[in-house]
Amino acid sequence: MENPDCSKIKIGISSCLLGEEVRFDGGHKKNSYITGVLTQYFSFVPFCPEVEAGLGTPREPIRLMQEGGDIKCVGVKTPEWDVTEQLVAVAKPKRDWQHTLCGYILKKDSPSCGMERVKVYRKGAPNRSGVGLYAQGLMKNFPHLPVEEEGRLQDPHLRENFIQRVYIYNRWLDLHEKGCNLRALQDFHARHKYIFMSHNQQRARDLGALMANHDCLGLDTLAQRYLASMMSLLKNIATRKNHVNTLQHIQGYLKTHLDNDDKDELSEMIADYRQGLLPLIVPITLLRHHFRKFPNEYVDHSFYMAPHPGEMMLLNNI
Ligand code: SF4
């Protein structure tokens, strides 16, 4: 395993996606978006569970097979070659390096790494109902960790959602490293409130209510409940409708500052975004422009206005 660059956010990854020749046929599945773009921002920690389990490279391909209520992982040509226990043993322990990760990118369709819809064979016929054995253990050990598959990262909305979750989870881990207290938690909530609104307005209100009615909860319990609700809320893909609502909320801070022409221009851009004529980056850029002239501390501190590095251009395609 490589030593990750400490200045970048750490992300776990299926080794073959980085170009490591660890696949059953001795090949790889290098992903150019990951190795060309994401490596500029993230430090990847590669891991191949099948190599770690001692299956060797090259090796016979394996697949998930259902027998009664059990799901096993066996050789494609040699079904009596059962590697289930080896793979489960690799997946079970919470490894030191996994605790510091802010996300994980898994190889789709793999009986070890696949996050969802992995083929499970029953009486020779496949159905896409499985989860890779390593992925299963990982997600059980770290239920709040942002996890995604490389195939789904091609969708601009899923890509933006995953990367946004990674940055938020990274800030959450930072908060705890520095020593979490109630004030810091309230500040964290305030800075992310508009992001939560853009994902799900009711659940954002529920999260706000949890923060407002925490009296009978200790700090640890509050933080754990908050984290679970927040990461579950963030899995809802932000919709155009919710973004419009959020943009209009933020626009409200400018109502006493802008003249009628500027107000109309901003409203038109939000309306064009609502209709899908413009990407999200356009109204956000105009808002940033106005808030540079008329600063507002609450909005300036909100991560909604800059959820991830602008050079990633993730708001240009949603
Ligand atoms: S086990 Fe995972 S990392 Fe290893 S080759 Fe298969 S998909 Fe890639």
37 with 147, same domain: the answer is yes
3 in a domain, yes or no? no
Q: Which amino acid is at 212?
A: A
Q: Is residue 1 part of a domain?
A: no
Burial classification of residue 101, based on how many CB atoms lie within 10 Å of its CB (0-12 exposed, 13-18 middle, 19 or more buried) = buried
For 23, which DSSP code? S
Last residue of a domain, one of 205, 234, 263: 234
The pLDDT score that the predictor gives to residue 216 is 78
3-class secondary structure, 42: strand
Distance CA 294, CA 284 (A): 15
Indicate if 85 and 133 belong to the same structural domain: yes
91, 137: one domain: yes
pLDDT value at residue 263? 97
- Asked if 11 and 43 touch (Cβ cutoff 8 Å), the reply is yes
Q: Are residues 187 and 248 in the same domain?
A: no
Contact between residue 205 and residue 139 where contact means Cβ atoms under 8 Å apart = no
Name the packing angle between helices 182-199 and 240-251 (round to 10°).
Answer: 120
Helix (H) or strand (E) holding 253: none
What is d(CA 173, CA 39) in angstroms, rounded to the nearest whole number?
21
Pocket test for ligand 1, best of 18, 20, 88, 110 (most atoms within 8 A of CB): 110
Give average pLDDT by consecutive 10-residue segment, the chain, 318 residues: 65 98 98 97 97 97 94 96 96 91 98 98 93 97 97 97 98 92 95 97 96 85 96 97 98 96 97 98 98 97 96 96
Query: Is 48 near ligand 1, meaning CB less than 6 Å away?
Result: yes
Q: Classify 301 as helix, strand or coil.
A: coil
pLDDT of residue 4: 47
Atom of ligand 1 nearest to the CA of 29: 8
Output phi, psi for 138, to 5 deg: -60, -50
What ranges in the chain are assigned the alpha helix state H? 32-36, 49-52, 84-91, 96-99, 133-141, 156-177, 182-199, 201-212, 219-234, 240-251, 260-274, 281-293, 297-300
What's residue 232's pLDDT?
98
- Ligand 1 neighbour 62 (Cβ under 6 A): no
Residue pair 228/210 in contact by the 8 Å Cβ criterion: no
Q: Tell me: do 256 and 306 sit in the same domain.
A: yes
Same domain, 95 and 24: yes
Does residue 288 fall inside a structural domain?
Answer: yes
- What does the pLDDT read at residue 3? 45
Domain holding 212, by residue range, is 156-234
> Which pLDDT score, from 0 to 100, does residue 6 have?
58
Q: Are residues 149 and 18 in the same domain?
A: yes
Rounded distance from Cα 125 to ligand 1 centre (Å)? 23
Q: 213 and 248 in contact (C-beta within 8 Å)? A: no
Ligand 1 within 6 A of 107 CB?
Answer: yes
Residue 318, in any domain of the structure = no
147 and 41, same domain (yes or no): yes
pLDDT number for residue 68: 87
pTM of the full structure:
0.95
| Helix, strand, coil tally for the chain in percent (to 5) | 50, 15, 35
| pLDDT value of position 256 | 95
Pocket test residue of 11, 13, 17, 22 for ligand 1, highest count of atoms within 8 A of CB: 22
User: Three-state SS for 107?
Assistant: coil
Nearest Cα to Cα of residue 307 among 102, 167, 159: 167
Task: Report the amino acid identity of residue 106.
Answer: L
What is the longest distance spanned by two Cα atoms in the chain?
76
- 2 occurs within a structural domain: no
| Amino acid 131: pLDDT | 97
Is the distance from the beta carbon of residue 49 to the nearest atom of ligand 1 less than 6 Å?
A: yes
